[in-house]
Structure 1
């Protein structure tokens, strides 16, 4: 099984990255193929609402000058998709928002490519606003017919400075439990995922 974690933070080695790696660790230990990708800090355009994806039906966005189509290929292949974002003015980063919008629309345009996949949101926050980021990512998962596992709390970790989330023991433990839940759920639904209702 394959899980991809995509980081919408522009800060390399930052708190969002630490949380995502903590989520992937139990999956690696359970034998999953895992991949970490960072799109934050790169030029990522928002959806143009051109609906070319409905005309072309090639599982790609018509915008080819950024990293989104590379991410989409990984997402379509994945059994589990973990999207991580820092909290910016109580919302996700602009790069993550662009990916969420374009991924969701291309999925719908091509017969709901996300249906039956596991989707998890992971959020880094200094103080407040993380619940809105968490909800916004999960909204796309839920309207895309994905399966969203729970953990011991909302999937968020607290820290402002680079690496400060390492001091959030509860947050890191939640990420490990999330990875374990993804592993359990992935194995449970793998035999029947292709039977997901149309």
Structure 2
């Protein structure tokens, strides 16, 4: 099985990356294929509301000039999608928010392409705003008919300087438990995921 982690932080080797790697490490131990991609700090735009994805229904965004479609294709292949963000002004990072807007909409336009996949949010925070970021990411998972695993706490780690989050013993333990929960859930749902009941338009 394949788990994709998307790092919404522009900071290389930052706390968001550390947390995501901790989750992926547990999945590596369970013989999952894992990959970490970076969306933070790249050139990615938000949704233009052009509705081309509904017209073409080819699992692509009409904006071809940035890295979105490449990342989205990995999200389509993934059994589990883990989205990580730092907290900026008590909100999700702009680059990850752009990915969420477009990926959620393109998937919705293409027969709920994320339905039945596992989705997990991971947040790096200095002090406040983490639950808002956590909720923002999970909202996309929930409206995409994805399955969100639990852990020992909300999936957040506290730290400011690079690597400081490693000192958050509870936060790091939570990431490892999250990885194990994703692994268990993936194994449990794999035989029946293809039969996940997809819901159509909101008025249906």
TM category, shorter: over 0.9
* CA distance in 1 between partners of 2:167 and 2:70 (Å): 33
- Deviation sequence 1:112-171 (CA, Å, 0-9, x none): 000000000000000000000000000010010000000000000000111110111110
Aligned to 1:87: 87
Aligned to 1:187: 187
* CA distance in 2 between partners of 1:180 and 1:148 (Å): 13
Aligned to 1:8: 8
* CA distance in 2 between partners of 1:107 and 1:38 (Å): 20
Q: RMSD of the TM alignment (CA)? A: 0.5
Aligned to 1:112: 112
* CA distance in 2 between partners of 1:58 and 1:49 (Å): 16
* CA distance in 2 between partners of 1:159 and 1:165 (Å): 4
- Deviation sequence 1:19-71 (CA, Å, 0-9, x none): 00000011000000000001101111000000000011110111111111111
Aligned to 2:151: 151
* CA distance in 1 between partners of 2:63 and 2:43 (Å): 12
How many matched pairs?
Answer: 198
- Deviation sequence 1:63-111 (CA, Å, 0-9, x none): 1111111110000000000000000011110000000000000001100
SS of residue paired to 1:87: strand
**TM-score scaled by length of structure 1:** 0.99
SS of residue paired to 2:197: coil
Trace 1:58-97 onto structure 2 (pairs within 5 A).
58-97=58-97
* CA distance in 2 between partners of 1:166 and 1:184 (Å): 25
* CA distance in 2 between partners of 1:61 and 1:130 (Å): 29
Aligned to 1:24: 24
Where do 5+ consecutive residues of structure 2 fail to align? 199-204
**TM-score scaled by length of structure 2:** 0.96
* CA distance in 1 between partners of 2:101 and 2:169 (Å): 32
Which aligned segments of 4 or more residues in structure 1 are displaced greater than 6 angstroms? none
